[in-house]
Structure 1
Amino acid sequence: MSERREGRTRSVAEVRVLEGQDSPDLVFFSSVSENTLRFVEKLERPAVRIPLRPRTEGMIRVTRPYVLVVPTYGGGAQAGAVPRQVITFLNDPANRALIRGVITAGNTNFGEHYCIAGPIISAKCKVPELYRFELLGTNRDVARVKAGLDEFWARQNTLEAEANEEDVA
């Protein structure tokens, strides 16, 4: 697999397809600071991490619908706000087809660009931005996201069941 960037083609190591329980409904990216990882761990639900170094570690491909948790990069600039690893992940049509929502981390020091990665991904992938939190998130953020994800997936399952009933009728 290759990624085009600035007129060059960069190769990405093999894609690892996640099947069944290896493909949870929560996908996240976390930089070496691991702020997003620490937040996701507090959610106490299965999650898979987008590789930090896809050219050497390979990329993942999910096989079931998921919510993406992503930090905002760029130090306050809109350009570069979405981590390139997330762009690579979402440029895989299989991964892009299964995204159902996005949760965004950011830093209020970024001013108007606080959590701007969320609206960018939301618009490009036509999914809702479900929640925003700052840096590591607070206990309140964790509780809200836990409850929100449970409610979101219950609603998604109901919509899917209704759509399947319509297909049968």
Structure 2
Amino acid sequence: MNTDTVSSTGEREYDLKAAAELLGKNPSALRMQIRRGSIRANTRPIDGDEEGGRYKLYIPESEVEKERKRLESETQKAHARGVQPTTEDGEATVGRAAPVSAPGPDVAAALDALLTRQEHLESELRQEREDTRALIRAVEQQVDMLKTMVTAFIARA
């Protein structure tokens, strides 16, 4: 199976699967980047597809190189921040969530303050709802009273 071609401009192109392998990515993830427009790709109809509804994606070599450099840059930044790609026993952590340490005292205090604020706002909201319902009932009573007055006025006329 031919996984790469040459475009009309003379640039080498890779099919989706080959480009994903070169970048160490899942083809679905690469397809999503193409849909979002962060990676440019060319489409060509699949040979033998009479309806013309199916096509194959080809990613130019320049786009593959640009994405590879971006990934390398992100990896270097992660290493500079001290992120370790493996655990102490050498096992890779790719695809697993990193262990999260307990929040520090400042974070815990901030979370408590946010929780208190949320409870206060919920209490205010409940009070506003009760006040609104009481106002609606008062308006309904006034409407009923006006209806009665209008009916009495029409009956006298």
The TM-score normalised by the length of structure 1 is 0.26
Q: Which has the higher contact order (CA 8 A, sep 6+)?
A: 1
The TM-score normalised by the length of structure 2 is 0.27
**Higher helix share goes to which structure?**
2
